[in-house]
Chains A and B, each alone.
Chain A
Amino acid sequence: MSEMIQAKEPFKFYTRLHLSELTGLRAATLPQLLKLIKTVPGSSIYHHTHRFLQQHQYLSPEPPNDFAYWVSAVLGEAGLGEKLASIDTIQFPTIRSLREEIIKNIESYIKDNPLSKLKFASEGEEFHFIKSVSFILPTKYIAYNLSDFVEILKKITLDSIYFHIFEARLRLERTTNDFSYWIETSIGDKTLASTISHLDPYTYTLEDLRSAVIKIVEVYIRSKN
């Protein structure tokens, strides 16, 4: 059995917990929604494109963002809902570029479907803009090699997995997820890093994502033994 490669730098697991802050802003029509999407803070765009993943993770890959859900379920604009739901979030390296893509889709839909401007949500069904306040804390878990890493992955919270995969990449504007970055730079295996970074995390439930990463790393460890 070959010796497990020790990482140059250990991987420190963090967790990210969020608190929802209300902005008091609400939209009842598509033009109102569009106007507010253009002006709300990035943390609000982030909240509405990622909250669903955490709160409704067992439903994913069902509606991956609140905007898609609201325009379909409340305004009855299923066409736009589908367009917004199928935005390939992982292709957008920043919240700014994701926001622009959402705006582009809504503007183009309104242009092609002018009557959609007249639809409105009934009382109590308006779209409420909320933003996420993230608290990032170090956990007690530290991996010194891939074997530690995979064992910790099995028991860490989904919040921690979420932080290292989603939050690190998009909101904190890092180019890849933390796991791939560590495997490439500290374990020194580009192929394994790339296999993990090629997963589209937006099409998994968080629990399935955990299992997928564990499986990839376990297969790799077995192949080296």
Chain B
Amino acid sequence: MEILVASAIGVITMTGIYLVLRLRAFPMVLGMSLLTYAVNLFIFASGRLSIDMPPILSPDGAAYVDPLPQALVLTSIVISFGMTAVMVMMALGAFLETGHDRIDMTGPQEDEQ
């Protein structure tokens, strides 16, 4: 299972970085979303991988899984969701204002302000 999770995180990160480097608004939004999925899985795995165990201490002292990464993942999902929404809005605004969706800023339009 370790290999499965590790390679999944690796592949998602790789795809995300590739998409971000495309330097167009839409692939970049997708790439950033993939990167945040990868990091969420990574945080989840930081509490050690285990199956069929509750994330709370039980009175009989049975085995449990670390609940903190799950709380951290919740926070990180909420934040990355909000950030993605902001980025989509800004990219849309930039596209509507300038008529193209390139991310890099070379060329004559750099000097206008």
Co-assembled chains A and B? no
Residue positions of B touching A, CB distance < 8 A: none
